[in-house]
Structure 1
């Protein structure tokens, strides 16, 4: 009888732990909102191609820090590399990106979803005080690719393409 009681207690404990685990799975985390998932179309391992079809580089974007950050790691065969941290700021209702690279660039961008496109903008002040504005637009395409169109604008105000790439999943 003692063994039967122990078996019932163990079985009860297993059921209780299972229910607690199920309940934990349904509790929303701090970064589980729809807004935090707006940039998920960019996640994955990619080959990035120029408009002419040449491989520009490879990129890996993963969700980290409890799902609150998209971490990008980009590199080329020429030795250029960079990475960004991307996060949704729920208080200000804006997406933020911090980009750093092997050229010493620090680029801070902010923005958000415009229709289906993620559009982030910022500016860099050069060593002589010159200001360059940056606007990067990521567009998810119906075929599963993503277009990244990076534009810059200097004092004159006209936007020019700095980079135009198509992300294709590896």
Structure 2
């Protein structure tokens, strides 16, 4: 191999390695890291209703969620900060056939993602999910509040209000 070609190939490999490792290292990519971990999920009545495992994936460029309940309901999401749109994005799918496509931002206290979908009857529905971490160091928790609206956000109805309590290692 010619020295110039060898040097060019080495430069490209170094650049690719640098870009892939530094692509998602900024503080904005860490805004949803408060959700990482394994969580017991409780209803507002204090009953455990599920387990959620949240992991960092692809060198910190995405966050994978794996949710399951004792009754067999399961769902997964992939979350990422999209540098082009400058918004957070979530794609949620579950074993009932639900697909949610949400976008939004971290407002300094909570991650707020919204998106439009269709009800089982084909009616347009707005979804808004808010994740808010507690500041209580003794018991780390996150509140997830999922709301929907069928009138473009005039009236919101709670679909899910759960408290995520971090499992101890």
Q: Same fold (TM over 0.5)?
A: yes
Mapping of residues 150-165 of structure 1, within 5 Å = 150-155=146-151, 157-165=154-162
Q: SS at 1:99's partner residue?
A: strand
**Structure 2 CA distance for aligned equivalents of residues 95 and 131 of structure 1:** 22
- 2 CA distance for matches of 1:31 and 1:90? 9
Q: Using the TM superposition, give the Cα deviation of residue 102 of structure 1 relative to its aligned residue in structure 2, in angstroms.
A: 0.7
The gaps in structure 2 that reach 5 residues or longer are: 1-16
CA shift, 1:129, in A, is: 3.2
TM-score (normalised: structure 2): 0.81
Length, aligned pairs only: 146
Alignment equivalent of 1:85, drawn from 78, 82, 88: 78
Residues 74-100 of structure 1 deviation map (CA, whole Å, 9 limit, x = unaligned) = 000000000000000012110000000
Q: Equivalent residue for 1:103?
A: 96
In the TM superposition, what is the alpha-carbon distance from 1:154 to its structure 2 partner? Answer: 1.2
2:51 alignment partner, one of 36, 53, 58: 58
Q: Deviations over 1:128-157 (max 9, x none)?
A: 431111000000101221000000111383
Name the SS of the counterpart of 1:35 in structure 2. helix
The residue number in structure 2 matching 1:45 is: 38
TM-score by length of 1: 0.81
Q: Distance in 2 between matches of 1:53 and 1:126?
A: 29
Q: In structure 2, what is the Cα distance between the partners aligned to 1:39 and 1:165?
A: 17
